[in-house]
Amino acid sequence: MEKNGFSNQVRWYSFILCILVVLIHTQNTDIFAGQSSVVNGIESFIVERVARTANAGFFLCSGYLFYRNFSMDRLGYKWKRRLFSIVVPFAAWNFFYYILRLAASKTTVLGGYSDQEVIWNLNEVIQAVVNCKYNQIFWFLQFLIIYTYICPLIYLLIHNKYTGFGALTGVLLLAGGGYLNQFGEKLPAVVNWLFLYMAGSYLGLHGRRWVEEPKRRRGPLLFSAAGAAASHLFFAFCPGLTGQLLYYLFDAALLWNVLGCMRLPETRWWMQDTFYIYAVHFMIVRAGNKLAYACFGSAMGMGLWMFALLPVIAVVFCGYSGRLLKRYLPFVWKIMSGNR
């Protein structure tokens, strides 16, 4: 696949995953408590069976792009790029949300915006910036930063095709076996998603031909479709984290290969700022759902309407506000978008 075609497919893939992430947070069954059980069932099915693929897809894609054309002599360059594209905006957005919550807690009208007590001190700033205390949707970036900076260890495990596959299998069994649950919640979660990131990393080192197969070849599509069917069947009969991680992997790979077999048009300008959409959308969808409920309650299937419309509203808002930031506050945009 030529470079422009590959980059365009990555943008399409990232945009679709981003919309799925928005749908996860648009789910409003907790707000529209009185809506039909059928509506709740539709939303739950879309979120749990379809949209959850987004997290796996982002880790898979991130690992692949980091290790595509990777060698240890490029490590410093890779770390420097990720510092400005991930670490700086991660800290900036976390601090922004902390200030927003702090300001809201001091305002009479918005005082009940959060159940968390918000105070100003150095420890709270550190908790906000490093541990995403007031911006919990950034857990994905926190994990991604960890994986980026333990790159030498990951590379040592997977640089050989055969021992790398064994290491990948070992991480899957370690995660699925629950052996790390005694160490709290964070470490098991890091290892769980590490499997998806390492799978992408392994493909970046050893599977470029498979991932970037020309569109006329259907082998990768059929393989990922068979893998998705088999992993879902395995999970149905043996529910557990191992099966779940496997169907996440194959579902994410299947989406990539479906796109690879399509004649994709160039992504539009409003589809390309996926990081900005990811960073901003939560405020929009939660506020939109609460405002709609305050005005209309559960009448007219309003919960389902908002579930469908809010992703569109989030994309439109981010598209035009992003253009304004690029034009009038370019330095702020570079910081908040990671200079994407």
pLDDT(294) > 50: yes
Whether residue 275 contacts residue 242, with contact meaning beta carbons closer than 8 Å, is answered with no
pLDDT digits (tens, 9 = 90+) for 81-130: 999 999 999 999 999 999 998 888 777 555 445 556 788 999 999 999 99
pLDDT for res 4: 80
Q: What is the CA radius of gyration of the chain?
A: 21
pLDDT digits (tens, 9 = 90+) for 218-275: 888 999 999 999 999 999 998 999 999 999 999 999 999 999 988 899 999 999 999 9
For the four alpha carbons of 270, 274, 276 and 280, in that order, the dihedral sign comes to positive
- Please enumerate in sequence order all residues whose Cβ is within 8 A of that of 115, keeping only pairs 6 or more positions apart, or say none: none
Residue ranges of the domains in the chain?
3-337
pLDDT digits (tens, 9 = 90+) for 40-83: 889 999 998 899 999 999 999 999 999 998 999 999 999 999 99
pLDDT(300) > 60: yes
Q: Which two tokens stand for residue 291?
A: 């405002």
Residue range 162-182: mean pLDDT, rounded:
94
pLDDT for res 132: 93
Per residue, what are the HEC states of 161-202? HHHHHHHHHHHHHHHHCCCCHHHCCHHHHHHHHHHHHHHHHH
Q: How far is the C-alpha of 188 from the C-alpha of 185, rounded, in Å?
A: 6
User: Which amino acid type is present at position 229?
Assistant: A
pLDDT for res 114: 52
Instruction: Give the mean pLDDT of the chain.
Output: 91
Kindly indicate the confidence band of residue 209, based on its pLDDT and cuts at 50, 70 and 90: confident
pLDDT for res 111: 46
133-136, Cβ contacts within 8 angstroms, sequence gap of 24 or more: 133/98, 134/94, 134/97, 134/98, 134/100, 134/101, 135/93, 135/94, 135/97, 135/98
pTM here is 0.93
Closest among 67, 75, 33 to 211, alpha carbons compared: 67
